[in-house]
Structure 1
Amino acid sequence: MTLADGIWQQIFSFENYGELLALVRNSLIAGAALGLVGGLAGVFVIMRDLPFAVHGISELSFAGASAALLLGVDIVAGSIAGSLVAAGAIGILGARARDRNSAIGILMPFGLGLGVLFLALYKGRAANKFGLLTGQIVAVDTPQTKWLLGTSALVLVVLAVIWRPLAFASADPDVAEARGVPVRGLSFAFMLVLGLTVALSVQVVGALLVLTLVVTPAAAAARVTASPVLLPLLSVAFAVVSIEGGILLALGSSIPISPYVTTISFTVYVVCRLVGGRRSRRRGAGRSTPQPA
C-alpha cells in the first residue's frame, strides 16, 4: 500500500459503514437541529455584520467547555454558560460597532487563555481536549442530545418572536428606532441568542471553526438571493447539508468532523458566489444593451 492509499483510507473508509451508521442516530438528529438554528441566526449575523462577534463568543464558549471538562460537569452546559457571558458582555460594552469590536478583541485572548489553562490542568483523555477545538458530534450521547435539542428549541422560539422587528432593526436601525422599535433591546436579545447558537455550534465543529456553521451558509445564501423568505430557507438548507454531510463522511474515517463540515460549507459558498457573479454580469449586460427606438 502506498502512502497516498493510506492517507486516502484515513479520509474515506467505508468498511462496516452500515453498522457504524446506527451509532450516530443522536448525532444526525442534533445536527439537523443545529443546522436549523445556525442557518437562521446566521442571516442576522450577515445583516448586522457580526462575524467577528461569533468568533469572540466562541473563545469564551471554549473556555466554559474546558472548565466543565476539568470540573467533570456537563460540557454543553459549560459551553452555553461561557457563550452567554461573552454575548452579554459584548451586548453591554459594544453598543456601537467600533466599541463592539474593541470589546471582542479584549475578550477573545482572555477566553482563549482561560481555555488553554483549563485544558492544561485537565489530566483526562487527550481526545476530549482535541474535541473541544475540532468538534466531536459523532460521539454525542443522549444527555447531550437533550441539551442540544432543548436549547435549539429555545433559540427557535425567541427568533420566531423577534424575527420581524429584528429584521427591520437590522436593515435600517435609525428608521426602526424612530418608529418605536426597541433597537437596543433587540440587539441585546439577539446577542444572547447568538451566544446560545455559538455554544451549540461549538459542539459540531469546535471553537476554532465555528464560523463555518454560523456565517458561511448565510453568506452563501446571500450571494444568490435577497428574498426575505428564500434567504433564511437557503441558509438553513446549506447549514444542514454541511453538518449532516460532515457527520456521514467523518463516520467512515479517523479524521475529526470539522474538516468535512468546513469543506462542504466552503464548496457551497464558492458555487453560490460563482452563480451570483454570473447573474450579476447578465443583469449588467442586459441594462447596457441599447433598446430599439
Structure 2
Amino acid sequence: MDRLLEIAGTIADTEVTAYLLRQDFVLYGLVAIALLGLLAGAIGPFIVMRQMSFSVHGASELALTGAAAALLFGLNLGLGAILGSVVAALIFGLMGARASQRDSSIGVVMAFGLGMAVLFIHLYPGRSGTSFSLLTGQIVGVSEHGVVQMAVVAAIICVTLIALYRPLVFSSADPEVAEARGVPVRAINLIFAVLVGLAAAQAVQVVGALLVLSLLITPAAAAA
C-alpha cells in the first residue's frame, strides 16, 4: 500500500512539473536564469581579476535607482535599470585607478544612489510589492519582452568579451605593462565598466539588487 501511495505521489509530481513547464512564465524564468548564468560565467572572472567586486555592488544599487525612477515616472523598468547601472559603471570607470580611491568614491556614489532609490520607491503610488521586487527580484515576473531584452544584452556582452579577450586579459593581469606595450587600457576599462553595468542591470530584474553581488562574484571567486 505504501508503495502504491509512493508511485501515485511520483506520478502526481510529474504531472505538476509537466503542467508548470507548459506555462509561459515558467519558461521565461528558466530562460532568464540560463542567460544570467551565462553572463555570470563570462564576466565574473574578469571582475574578480580586476578587483571590481565593490563596483558590481555599486552598479546594482544604481540600477535599482534607475529602475525606481522609471517605476515612478511610468517608464520601462528594464531600460531604467540599464541606464542607471551603465551611468554608475561609467562613473566608477572614470574614477581613480587606485583601489582605495575607487572604493571610497564608489561608497559615496552608492550611498547617494541608494537614498534616491528609497525616495523614488516611497513616492511611488502603486503597489508596494512592485517596489519591493526591485530589491529581491521577481523571477516569475519576467515577460517575453524582458527575455528578449536580456538575450540581446547577453549577446552584446559575450561578443564584446570575445572581441576584446586578449587585450582585456593582458590589461587585467598587468595594466602597467599592458599600457607600456600600447594597449588602450583606459578605453578597455571604460568598455568593461559598461559591460559590468549591463550585466548588473539584467541581474537586478531577476535576483534583485541585494543578490547581484553573490551571482556575479561568488562563483568566480570560488573558481579563482
The answer to whether TM tops 0.5 is yes
Matches of 1:196 and 1:72, distance apart in 2: 21
1:1-293 aligned at under 5 Å gives the runs 16-23=16-23, 24-222=26-224
Paired residue secondary structure (2:164): helix
User: Identity of paired residues, percent?
Assistant: 52
May I ask how many residue pairs the two structures share in their alignment?
210
Paired residue secondary structure (1:85): helix
Runs of at least 5 residues in structure 1 that lack an aligned partner in the other structure:
1-12, 223-293
Paired residue secondary structure (1:66): helix
* Larger relative contact order, structure 1 or 2 (CA cutoff 8 Å, min sep 6): 2
Question: Conserved in 1, the CA contact under 8 Å of 2:136 and 2:208?
Answer: yes
Shift of 1:168: 0.8
TM-score, normalization by structure 1: 0.69
Shift of 1:219: 1.0
Q: Cα 1:175–1:136, aligned 2, differ >3 Å: closer, same or farther? A: same
Matches of 1:113 and 1:219, distance apart in 2: 29
Paired residue secondary structure (1:215): helix
Greater Cα offset, 14-23 or 33-42: 14-23
Question: Conserved in 2, the CA contact under 8 Å of 1:61 and 1:199?
Answer: yes
Give the CA RMSD over aligned residues. 1.6
Runs of at least 5 residues in structure 2 that lack an aligned partner in the other structure:
1-12
Matches of 1:83 and 1:19, distance apart in 2: 37
Shift of 1:15: 9.3
Matches of 2:184 and 2:16, distance apart in 1: 55
TM-score, normalization by structure 2: 0.89
Matches of 1:163 and 1:201, distance apart in 2: 23
Matches of 1:160 and 1:185, distance apart in 2: 16
Q: Cα 1:20–1:94, aligned 2, differ >3 Å: closer, same or farther? A: farther
